[in-house]
Amino acid sequence: MANGRGDDRGGNHSADRLWDRCRTMVDQLDLPEPFDAETFIGVLARERGRPIGLLPVASRPDAPCGLVVTTRNADWIIYASDTGGVHRQHILLHEAAHILCGHTERGADGDAMAAAARALMPHLPAELVRSVLGRTVYSEPDEREAELVASLILQRVERRDRHRARGADRPSSLDTLFAVFKD
């Protein structure tokens, strides 16, 4: 917490740029009220003019919790169907963050991509997987960026909800504390 951001990045300029870029991106997002990951993804799809489908699949221990599949006509967020609540929401936001950050527009290693897709969709033939998938395997920096964007979205929603619950006209407990010392 030494730098006031709740982390200890110790002057790493690359990490500072990542945080700044992600925070700016998240601050500009139109987040639905009340917040719901599916509704947010629908808004994102409309803003991009490109459909984003959600496809729950049976989870497997050797498979990722989620991935983005890019086809010619749409993006698909595929996620483990047995997740719920906060975990499911975070998975959906993490995969949506890959779309927001433009990670789906870069090329990928076809074999690695097919292996990841087969792990979640074993019923599809390997050739079909190779022919329809765009980007599903990301570099470590892409994963960090998507995780940070998803976390910042949830943080922004939580702050907004706390502020709303506290009431715009009612002072926060910190404001009340400072008012005691001011008098």
Inside any domain, residue 110: yes
The chain-wide mean pLDDT, for the chain, equals 77
> pLDDT per residue over 64-105, tens digit each?
788 888 877 888 898 999 988 899 999 999 999 999 998 876
Q: Dig out the tokens for 117 from the structure.
A: 């897709």
**CA-based max dimension of the chain:** 74
Vertex 22 angle, CA 16 and 97, to 5°: 140
pLDDT for the residue 74: 87
Rounded to two decimals, the pTM is 0.70
Instruction: Supply the range of the domain harboring residue 122.
Output: 13-165
Q: Which residue has the higher pLDDT, 62 or 128?
A: 62
**Tally of domains within the chain:** 1
Residues 7, 27: Cα–Cα separation, whole Å: 19
Alpha carbon 35 to chain centroid distance?
14
Inside any domain, residue 179: no
Inside any domain, residue 6: no
Neighbours of 119 (CB within 10 A): 15
**Contact 152/6 with Cβ under 8 angstroms?**
no
Inside any domain, residue 1: no
Cβ partners under 8 Å of residue 47, min gap 6: 30
Phi, psi of 137 (to 5 degrees): -115, 125
Residue 75, classed as helix, strand or coil, is strand
pLDDT for the residue 125: 59
Inside any domain, residue 103: yes
Q: Which residue has the higher pLDDT, 109 or 149?
A: 149
Inside any domain, residue 38: yes
8-state DSSP, 111 = H
DSSP per-residue letters across 124-157:
S-HHHHHHH-------HHHHHHHHHHHHHHHHHH
Confidence of residue 5 (pLDDT cuts 50, 70, 90): very low
Residues 149, 157: Cα–Cα separation, whole Å: 12
Inside any domain, residue 115: yes
Confidence of residue 2 (pLDDT cuts 50, 70, 90): very low
Inside any domain, residue 93: yes
